[in-house]
Amino acid sequence: MFYNLCFGALKDAATDGVKEEWYLFKDASHTTKDSHDLPGGWKSNIYLVDPSNKEWQKYLNERNDDVYVNFAFDGYQIDQLGRRSTLYNYNGIPVNLREGYASFIEATKQAHPDKSLVMNAVSRYGARQIGETGKVDFFYNEVWADEADFTNLKAILYENGVYGNYQLNTVFAAYMNYNKADNRGEFNTPGILLTDAVMFALGGSHLELGGDHMLCKEYFPNENLTMSEELKTAMVRYYDFLTSYQNLLRDGGTENSVSMNCTNGEMRLNSWPPQQGSVTTYAKQVGGKQVIHLLNFSQANSLSWRDVDGTMPEPALITKAALQMNLSAKVNKLWVASPDVHGGALQELAFTQENGVVSFTLPSLKYWTMIVAE
């Protein structure tokens, strides 16, 4: 997919046919254009156009024609800039950007019905209107400091489910070790893996790799932080795991509650939401399978997915935890899998079930282990 803002023009855009009447203004008398200001050395600031303006939509779709004629892109990744102050069109009428985004998506799909579309819901802005068009292939949420907690990720996934009628998956654009990336250095592997573990277990995915490097800033070419060999290897295993078990991770299911306890003191357990110093469980029923995710916050120094300074500690490996969980339905098979061991291959476990209590020994937990009862 190619990338472009839905409403951006450079200062000399008039020479290419962009009209003054298409812009967004900070005042009702069309004196001051709204703009996204860029550092010195860039060609121009970006001046914002009304995405609902029909002439602008036609103009940009004609430019998209040029793109598709010359490059074999599958579609268009549409960007925006999140919440803005009150803005006006040239005629002094306040503009509803959220509704404008929906109008833009509709027009873009009509112009190129065979091409895929996705639009960034920056900090959730416009997510409902984007999803309710029914014209995007998945939700794309760029998340920032105002959504810094792991609980925010789950809230976004819930909202997107509602907005997309539970038909669309969610990809998070979430930049890791953001403050650390102001200088040269290396990504903090524990922070990356814990965040990926939570995102994947909750049913999301993570846009975090661009070209030959991991993303640390919204400016994708930024390469201040490098990946260790350990992290590179782990990334392959985590995405293999996401793909291998996608039907359990990203193919619906119903969130539920499964009571669990550890009988030999190897771990402290709590149900979602996460708690520092504990292993957090997140459960859902997927068809005839009961899935329980174990997420290791035992050594976590915060409950933020961002790990902005790259200080999230590595969790201690937990082995041979004696676990019990309450399941009233008869269990015929019990197995576990983790991207942290055995390349993600499943391990079938011995267990007993008596009076609705399933007892078993968990082989290991590093960051994330998935338990499946069939």
Q: Could you report the per-residue pLDDT of 91-119, keeping only the tens digit for each?
A: 999 999 999 999 999 999 999 999 999 99
Strand 46-48 relative to strand 35-36, pairing: antiparallel
Cα separation of 27 and 25, whole Å? Answer: 5
**Number of neighbours of residue 85 by Cβ within 10 angstroms:** 6
For residues 54 and 50, give the distance between their C-alpha atoms in angstroms, rounded to a whole number: 9
Report pLDDT for 149. Answer: 99
> What angle (nearest 5°) sits at the alpha carbon of residue 25, between those of residues 143 and 62?
75
Question: Is there a single domain that holds both residue 101 and residue 121?
Answer: yes
Please say which residue of 219, 249, 279 terminates a domain.
Answer: 249
* Mean pLDDT across 354-371: 99
Q: Are 212 and 73 in a shared domain?
A: yes
**In this structure, are 197 and 136 located in the same domain?**
yes
Q: What is the pLDDT of residues 267-323, one digit of tens each?
A: 999 999 999 999 999 999 999 999 999 999 999 999 999 999 999 999 999 999 999
Phi (first) and psi of residue 31, to 5 degrees: -95, -45
Q: Mean of the pLDDT values across residues 328-345? A: 98
**In the structure, how many helices (H) and strands (E) does the chain have?**
7, 24
Q: Per the structure block, which two tokens stand in for 354?
A: 């008596």
Based on the domain organization, do 6 and 103 belong to the same domain? yes
User: pLDDT > 70: what percent of the chain?
Assistant: 100
Amino acid at 243: T
| Confidence bin at 342 (pLDDT 50/70/90) | very high
Summarize pLDDT for 9-51 with one digit per residue, the tens: 999 999 999 999 999 999 999 999 999 999 999 999 999 999 9
Residue 236 has pLDDT above 90, yes or no: yes
Structural domain boundaries, residue 280: 254-373
State the DSSP code for 346: -
Residues 259 and 171 in one domain: no
Based on the fold, state whether residues 189 and 336 are members of the same structural domain. Answer: no
Q: In this predicted structure, what is the pLDDT of residue 245?
A: 99
- pLDDT confidence bin for 198, thresholds 50/70/90: very high
Spell out the residues 6+ positions from residue 283 whose beta carbon is closer than 8 angstroms to its own.
255, 256, 257, 258, 271, 290, 291, 292, 293
The pLDDT score that the predictor gives to residue 212 is: 87
For the stretch 200-225, pLDDT in tens is 999 999 999 988 899 999 999 999 99
- Do the Cβ atoms of 244 and 343 come closer than 8 Å? no
> Cα(47)–Cα(25) distance, rounded to whole angstroms?
9
C-alpha atoms less than 13 angstroms from C-alpha of 242 in its C-beta half-sphere: 21
Same domain, 100 and 230: yes
| The two structure tokens encoding residue 205 | 């995915």
Same domain, 201 and 60: yes
Grade residue 170 by pLDDT with cuts at 50, 70 and 90.
very high
Last residue of a domain, one of 249, 282, 299: 249
User: Helices in 209-352 by DSSP H: which ranges?
Assistant: 229-244, 246-249
d(CA 281, CA 302) in angstroms, rounded, equals: 17
> Within this chain, do residues 184 and 284 fall inside the same structural domain, yes or no?
no
pTM (2 d.p.): 0.96
* pLDDT-based confidence at residue 233 (cuts at 50, 70, 90): very high
Residue 357, domain CATH: 2.60.40.1180
Q: Which domain-ending residue is among 189, 224, 249?
A: 249
DSSP state of 134: S
Long-range Cβ contact pairs of 115-118 (< 8 A, separation 24 or more): 115/68, 115/73, 115/74, 115/75, 115/76, 116/1, 116/74, 116/75, 116/76, 117/75, 117/76, 117/78, 118/1, 118/75, 118/76, 118/77, 118/78, 118/171
Q: How large is the average pLDDT for residues 194-202?
A: 99
Mean pLDDT for the stretch of residues 143-171:
98
For 204, the enclosing helix (H) or strand (E) is strand 204-207
Q: What is the CATH number of the domain that holds 209?
A: 3.20.20.80
Tell me the average pLDDT across 170-174: 98
Q: Are residues 36 and 181 in the same domain?
A: yes
Beta bridge partners of 139: 170
Nearest in space to 103 (alpha carbons), one of 172, 41, 35, 54: 54
Instruction: Give the span between the Cα atoms of 57 and 55, in whole angstroms.
Output: 5
| One domain for residues 242 and 261 | no
How many distinct structural domains can be found in the chain? 2
Q: Are residues 234 and 340 in the same domain?
A: no
Residue 18, pLDDT score: 98
